[in-house]
Amino acid sequence: MTPFVVSLALVGLVIVVAALFSGLVDRFRVPQVAMFLTLGAALGPFGLGLVDFGLTSPVLEGIATIGLVLVLFSDAISLDPRAVRNHARLAVLVLGPGTVLTAGIITLAAWGLLGLAPPLAVMLGAALASTDPVMMRGLLRSESVPAAARQALKLESGLNDLVLLPIVLLAMALAGGAASATPLGRQAVGLLVFGPGAGVLVGFVGVALLEGVRKRVGVRRDYESIYALGLAFTAFAAAEAVHGSGFLAAFAAGLTIVAFDAELCDCFVDYGQATAEMFLLFTFVAFGASLVWTGLDALTWRTLTFVMVALFGRSLVLAVALRREPLDPHSRRLIVWYGPRGLSSLLLVLLPVFAGVPGAAALFPPAALAVLASIVLHGGALMLGGRTGPPIGDEGRGTRAESAPQAAAPTLSRERITLDELKQLQTRGERVVLLDVRKESAWGESLVKALGAIRLPPDSARTRAAELALPRHEWLVAYCA
């Protein structure tokens, strides 16, 4: 078969496998990452020999670039500004000590144990301080996770790449490579000004254009999610055109959408996030063909010690940083323990490789070994607690969509919820999905629309909810007046 046919078959296989095993993944918390790395191994040189990507492969560079854009954009657009404000202190702790100090500890270990030059050690330390949002989703979707732990882990996985990516890029500038002829000051301006600026501009103009079209002719909801992905890639290209960071531009575009268009954010969560996740799983297959297994070839006592520092350094830092926080014991244990390394770490560590930084190829094997160890440790622990879930505190009990009114607090009635009660849920950090289920005539004539509410016609609400794949374990609040 031609490479095109093989690639097309691989994409189709990823989609089919992800769909068929989605129930198994949700029920038993089987790590999707492990499934698709195994699929990659079966298709790679160790199996059928259909695919193989080297570190210098242009195809891998394209896959990795798109994958990192999607990770950063999805992180940004999934953020809840209200939750960030309500948990500002917790965000500072997980992004300050939890991220920066962890990166510093891993950097020292890479320098001392692996003998890497300081700039290369910084790149590896920053890459392995990133917690993976793809591996995190299985845990965050569980109703057994207390709200405090859910919010802390969401904030960490959603924001730490924003802290770590500039560190990697600045270390690349210091180490030299393809862009070494450009003065460091010029690179810093492109990184910190041109990149985010291009992302904000593309996001703002994109939201304004969409709003204008919405008012005049309307836009289908599923196409709005595709539109959001289009803005992410446009922001990346615009930033690269002015010699800025396209990756920071993608993140900035997502934040701009969050700030100016809540409905577009909801559309992306409803439709676009699934598309992004399929591509990220495809990226895992590409890594699983042969590359990620190079970590096993690098297994020595030094690399094994380094991996232990990389995986447990974060836990040590957060155990100290969170000691005075008013968290229940189960939330504290989850936050301290669950920091999986996965796709985002591999993508970050590949940036210096693609940029031609001298010696950067040596960063991938220890990073791959750390990711494999994390899949075993964090993914295995998630599976062991998958059927019954760990014990939870009062704030995490109950289901959401099935019996939400019973689960919140004694002040909620069984059938109705007041605006004050709704605000209490949001203040606690609970994710609340607003549904507008008014009759078509009342909805069309009314000037009052709940911000960010999802429109469900009352005569087909159940069918429409299934089509939108509304979360089964979140609060669904319907407005029907």
pLDDT tens, residue by residue, 35-74:
888 888 888 888 888 788 888 888 888 888 888 898 889 8
User: Where are the alpha helices (H) located in 192-300, listed in sequence order?
Assistant: 195-216, 221-241, 246-260, 262-267, 273-289, 294-297
Query: Mapping DSSP to helix (H, G, I), strand (E, B) and coil, where does residue 435 land?
Result: strand
**Which helix (H) or strand (E) segment is 111 a member of?**
helix 102-113
Tokens 């599976």: give the residue: 383
pLDDT band at 104 (very low <50, low <70, confident <90, very high): very high
222 is written with which tokens?
A: 């599923």
Better-predicted residue by pLDDT, 201 or 216: 201
The number of beta carbons lying within 10 Å of the beta carbon of residue 144 is 17
Q: How many CA atoms lie within 13 A of 477 on its CB side?
A: 24
State whether residue 478 is helix, strand or coil.
Answer: strand
The pTM (predicted TM-score) of the whole model is 0.74
Is residue 412 pLDDT above 70, yes or no? no
Predicted confidence at residue 386, as pLDDT, reads 44
Q: Is the pLDDT of residue 455 over 60?
A: yes
Which residues are registered as beta bridge partners of 479? 436
Q: What is the mean pLDDT of the chain?
A: 80
> What's the whole-number mean pLDDT along residues 299-328?
92
| Best CA proximity match to 79, nearest among 313, 429, 402, 421 | 429
In this prediction, residues 353-358 reach a mean pLDDT of: 89
Instruction: Classify residue 411 as exposed, middle or buried by CB count within 10 Å of its CB (0-12, 13-18, 19+).
Output: exposed
What percent of the chain is modeled with pLDDT above 90? 25
- Tokens standing for residue 340: 């999986």
Buried b or exposed e, range 159-173, using 16+ CB within 10 angstroms = bbbbbbbbbbbbbbb
* Contact call for residues 256 and 203 (beta carbons, < 8 A): yes
Whether residue 130 is predicted with pLDDT greater than 80 in this model: the reply is: yes
Helix axes 246-260 and 58-77, enclosed angle (nearest 10): 30
Q: Among 18-32, 89-103, 155-169, which is the least confidently predicted range?
A: 18-32
Q: Which residues pair with 466 in a beta bridge?
A: none
How many CB atoms are located within 10 Å of the residue 74 CB? 26
pLDDT at 447: 53
Q: What is the pLDDT of residue 192?
A: 77
- Span 215-233, mean pLDDT? 86
Q: Which of 189-193, 331-335, 445-449 has the lowest mean pLDDT?
A: 445-449
Quote the CA–CA distance of 82 and 93 in Å, as a whole number. Answer: 17
Per-residue burial over 232-245, b = 16 or more CB atoms within 10 Å of its CB, e = otherwise: bbbbbebbbeeebb
* Domain 3-384 of CATH type 3.40.50.300: no
Query: Which residue did the predictor score with more confidence, 200 or 474?
Result: 200
Minimum mean pLDDT among 165-174, 262-271, 356-365: which range? 262-271
Specify the domain boundaries for CATH 1.20.1530.20 within the chain.
3-384
Please say if the pLDDT value at position 349 is more than 60: yes
